[in-house]
Amino acid sequence: MSRLFPHSSSSHVPGVPASHPFLHPCCSCILAVPAPLLFSCLPGPTFCLFPCPGCSHFPAIPVSRLPTRPSARPDPCAGSADPNHIYPWPHEPLPTDPLDFRHHNYDEMRKLMRRVNAECPNITRIYSIGRSYLGLKLYVMEISDNPGRHEVGEPEFRYVAGMHGNEVLGRELLLNLMEYLCRQHRRGDPRVRRLVARTRIHLLPAMNPDGYEAAGSELAGWASGRWTYEGIDLNHNFADLNTPGGTPCALAQVAPETRAVIDWMQRYPFVLSANLHGGELVVTYPFDMTRTYWKAQELTPTADDGVFRWLATVYATSNLAMAREERRPCHYDDFARAGNIINGANWHTVPGSMNDFSYLHTNCFEITVELSCDKFPHASELPAEWENNREALLLYMEQVHRGIKGVVRDAETGRGIADAIISVDGINHDVRTGRARDWGAYGVAGYEVTAAAAGYEAARRPAASAWLEPG
Ligand SMILES: [Zn+2]
């Protein structure tokens, strides 16, 4: 073993405590692990506790893409002809990517996905995780250098959109994203190539396709299409904080869409996700449900609160619409005052949310992004919305390479151990190794981790090296 985690104080991120070890930007992990090699970190920069400078991405917006200050642009509303800024600014970001900017119904969505798959067969795969109540397939686009395979040590990431069928921007952004990743990969864009080579990405653009078809167009009412055909709000349909064992109550009505997603979460070892909604401009992080059951609002942090606030901040500061200084609140809440992020339960309690389920019952950290004030923007706004979100979507995916990861093996045979429990000092939230015997964790409050498995002595080691002795 060699030295770990030399600290640098030069890149403190404003608004986040400098003492939080998650934020140390640099590490130097040297792979001289003694045999027998067990429960060890994997080769490559990402097994370091913190990414090396060459691979770290902080939520900084390139200066050239920062919105100009209001005083620097002509004001079309001079004379208060448009006091509410209803009409678009003349300097909305122009679309630089030639993508298919329009609303896609179910058939059009399928066609687009097939086209992307045909253009990039080596890095894409389309699969379905189940069917909606009306029988529409829940399609996922996988993007990875080896589609269809989990590679040991390569983290799995997912974006989910369209849980509420009438909040349609996320669906279009994910379709844009798959087109963009395919195109840029073919062009040799180093950033995209690196991301695709090191990450297994899954994009589910329509979790509630029945609701989308019901919403129809931007002329639909505020809530029409939110629910499934059966009238279920999918974001209240997961097992919640108070449901033991991770299975929804036997008496509860669980939508086929929810069952499909739970099954998906349990089949793939996801470690990071975002759930794309609309109707506000803010990023929320778990818990979504208040611990005091009768309270409508209550700060309810997880054991990984610092990490979640970081993740939410990454999206909120790189999304051009949220970061725009002159932006006005969508409705009543001025989220900009708190950096456009909020603990979900501290906004309004959501029992049975997908984020809470993901955190409590799987190894995956998930946040919610409310993408725009308007749930169903007009098609002409889609290019600008892509510009607003492109950097945020990429930067957030790159966060999957933060944290620590490794493999748990038997000290004598070298065989990988599935279902071993990984605990990080000071964080009351464990993760488990998956079927591939590898694991990834964000909960990093100390540098010591413990691996435990049935039939073995627990091993306690610094993050980069530990092994298990048969007990
Ligand atoms: Zn929603």
What was the pLDDT predicted at 153?
83
Query: How far apart, in whole angstroms, are the C-alpha atoms of residue 253 and residue 251?
Result: 7
Asked whether residue 334 is domain-assigned, the answer is yes
Burial of 78-90, coded b for 16+ CB within 10 Å and e otherwise, reads eeeeeeeeeeebe
Tell me how many domains the chain contains: 1
Taking CA atoms, 19 is separated from 7, 72, 338, in Å, by 11, 38, 20
Q: State in Å: Cα 355 to ligand 1 middle.
A: 12
Q: Quick one: average pLDDT of 167-190?
A: 97
Torsion angle of the four alpha carbons 220, 223, 224, 226, in this order, in degrees rounded to the nearest 10: 130
Q: Is the pLDDT of residue 398 over 70?
A: yes
Top pLDDT among 404 and 77 is at 404
Q: Residue 167's pLDDT is what?
A: 94
Q: Using CA atoms, how far apart are residues 413 and 206, in angstroms rounded to an integer?
A: 44
Residue 240 lies in a domain: yes
| pLDDT confidence band for 4 (50 / 70 / 90) | very low
Whole-number Å distance, alpha carbon 167 to ligand 1 midpoint, is: 6
Say which CATH number the domain at 206 has.
3.40.630.10
Q: What is the pLDDT of residues 402-419, one digit of tens each?
A: 877 778 888 888 888 888
- Decide if 115 is inside a domain: yes
CA distances in angstroms from 251 to 230, 247, 248, 254, listed in the order given: 16, 11, 8, 9
**Distance of CA 286 from the midpoint of ligand 1 (Å):** 15
Q: Please state, for a pLDDT cut of 90, what percent of the chain lies above it.
A: 50
Task: Provide the b/e sequence for 269-285 (b: ≥16 CB within 10 Å).
Answer: bbbbbbbbbbbbbbbbb
State the pLDDT at residue 166.
93
Enter the pTM of the model. 0.78
Write out the chain in H/E/C secondary structure. CCCCCCCCCCCCCCCCCCCCHHHCCCCCCCCCCCCCCCCECCCCHHHCCCCCHHHCCCCCCCHHHCCCCHHHCCCCCCCCCCCCCCCCCCCCCCCCCCCCCCCCCHHHHHHHHHHHHHHCCCCEEEEEEEECCCCCEEEEEEECCCCCCCCCCCCEEEEEECCCCCCCHHHHHHHHHHHHHHHHHHHCCHHHHHHHHHCEEEEECCCCHHHHHHHCCCCCCCCCCCCCCCCCCHHHCCCCCCCHHHCCCCCCCCCHHHHHHHHHHHHCCEEEEEEEECCCCEEEECCCCCCCCCCCCCCCCCCCHHHHHHHHHHHHHHCHHHHCCCCCCCCCCCHHHHCCEEEHHHHCCCCCCHHHHHHHHCCCEEEEEECCCCCCCCHHHHHHHHHHHHHHHHHHHHHHHCCEEEECEECCCCCECCCCEEEECCCCCCEECCCCCEEEECCCCCCEEEEECCCECCEEEECCECCECEC
Confidence class of residue 95 from pLDDT cuts 50, 70 and 90?
low
Give me ligand 1 centre to Cα 185, in Å. 31
- Over residues 315-343, the mean pLDDT reads 92
pLDDT at 136: 97
Other CB atoms within 10 A of residue 222 CB = 9
Has residue 173 got a pLDDT over 90?
A: yes
Q: Residue 471 and residue 458: Cα distance in Å, rounded? A: 9
How many beta carbons lie within 10 A of that of residue 193, not counting itself?
17
Rounded distance from Cα 306 to ligand 1 centre (Å)? 24
In a domain? residue 457 = no
Please tell me the predicted confidence (pLDDT) of residue 60.
32
Question: 10 Å Cβ neighbour count for 125?
Answer: 16
pLDDT in tens, 11-50: 333 333 333 222 222 222 222 222 232 333 333 322 223 2
Distance from Cα 157 to the centre of ligand 1, integer Å: 20
Residue 306 located in a structural domain: yes
pLDDT of the residue at 422: 84
More confident residue, 359 or 441: 359
CA distance 160 to 60: 24
- Structural domain contains residue 16: no
Residue 303 resides in a domain:
yes
Mean pLDDT over each residue of the chain, to the nearest integer: 77
How far apart (Å, rounded) are the C-alpha atoms in residues 123 and 117?
Answer: 8
What is the mean predicted confidence (pLDDT) over 161-174?
96
**Residues that are catalytic:** 370
**257: domain range?**
101-401
407 is a domain residue: no
Res 275 pLDDT > 50: yes
How confident is residue 451, by pLDDT bands cut at 50, 70 and 90?
Answer: confident
pLDDT band at 433 (very low <50, low <70, confident <90, very high): confident
Distance (Å, whole) CA 77 – CA 400: 42
Ligand 1 mean position, distance from CA 322 (Å): 17
Separation of CA 172 and ligand 1 centre (Å): 15
